[in-house]
Structure 1
């Protein structure tokens, strides 16, 4: 549980900026923050343009950016613009409805905290406290969404790897021929090297491409380079 006494912030976070289209929300945040933080200066406005009118020597250390469901402006563009104007400011998004794709993009833009407006306001205090200690904060609901997204992505990549052919599907001769092919050697050159007929080289090439599920030698080269070297030990030594 959070204690009710005021938080003591580091000197780098003494000036707050509140951006939200709704004045009542801004007023409520001002009252709430002043109750919990000592010696802070708060600038409040419905848009970022207001902050550009501040004295040149005034800096904004932390910006709480309100994203509203009824906003007609692009959220990500607003946040990107905010980061451009105030690159040194810590940015917290105070949002309503956010989908996982938006959350991930906000994090990529450098947002340090994302909380829901409908949640307990004490969560905003916890968010600021953790950011002040060098952490990134997400509301529990958002944290679960990101976790589920990561797990789903890992499972998808695992399934993809399982469906991809490995070098073990090639015989030793086929693998040797494949290495010659990706070097750009001609069929006649390979035939002389392996002491086989050109027709045998051509038919074996077709088998290799089919086994590796590629359509040409260029794709074959990419697949072979991406294979783990350890898988070479599992190449079958059976003849074609």
Structure 2
């Protein structure tokens, strides 16, 4: 069961998202919050697998809440949920270590898929967000290739699959190795690339030309 803390300051939207998540037998919303401070408190008290955070909330906004959660409870994956698609929010969320970024206007199935992907250890960007990342964030090809050059051939292969959105389990099946070995490779990849999570690693994979899409 994937345990989720949900935070959104609009009660109707929060109820709708909770209903969508609750429609899947494998997801349980264990706490709801209407501001970022409550969200952080709920994460610390309930220790969920995922925190779903709206960007704009009172007391503590979603970005600040994400930063605190990543610092105080790094085991909890962070998925940002917003009606906004501005590059500044995308960049800030990725820099803070968010594991996923979804639009409220997206398909409900996309929300469920994103939660499951992040819970499974993968990164998830909604297709619209992925396109904005690809189209608008600077593609630092030379720098990314220099970073990737420090990886072994197997680590490069793992990074390419990670960048394509595969979970550790999927990568293990693809490469015919055990999942524990994939986790070890991913840990080394993060260290050598100087990144904090799978989304940031996926961006490096894209910039280096290992994958064509982050969706």
Fold shared, TM-score > 0.5 on shorter chain: yes
Aligned residues, how many?
144
User: 2:79 maps to what in 1?
Assistant: 92
- Matching of residue 125 in structure 1 with residue 125 in structure 2: no
SS at match of 2:74: coil
Whole-angstrom CA distance in 2 between matches of 1:55 and 1:134: 18
- Matching of residue 40 in structure 1 with residue 23 in structure 2: no
Whole-angstrom CA distance in 2 between matches of 1:112 and 1:18: 15
TM-score by length of 1: 0.50
Equivalent of residue 26 in structure 1, options 11, 14, 26: 14
User: 1:105 maps to what in 2?
Assistant: 92
The 1:85/1:65 distance shift into structure 2, 3 A limit, reads: same
The 1:34/1:103 distance shift into structure 2, 3 A limit, reads: same
Question: Any unmatched runs of 5+ in structure 1?
Answer: 1-8, 158-240
TM-score by length of 2: 0.56
Q: Deviations over 1:115-153 (max 9, x none)?
A: 001111111011112223322111111111111245654
SS at match of 1:42: strand
Is the contact made by 2:77 and 2:119 (CA closer than 8 Å) also made in structure 1?
no
Is the contact made by 1:48 and 1:82 (CA closer than 8 Å) also made in structure 2?
no
Q: CA deviation at 1:72?
A: 8.3
Is the contact made by 2:55 and 2:63 (CA closer than 8 Å) also made in structure 1?
no
The 1:100/1:23 distance shift into structure 2, 3 A limit, reads: same
Q: CA deviation at 1:90?
A: 0.7
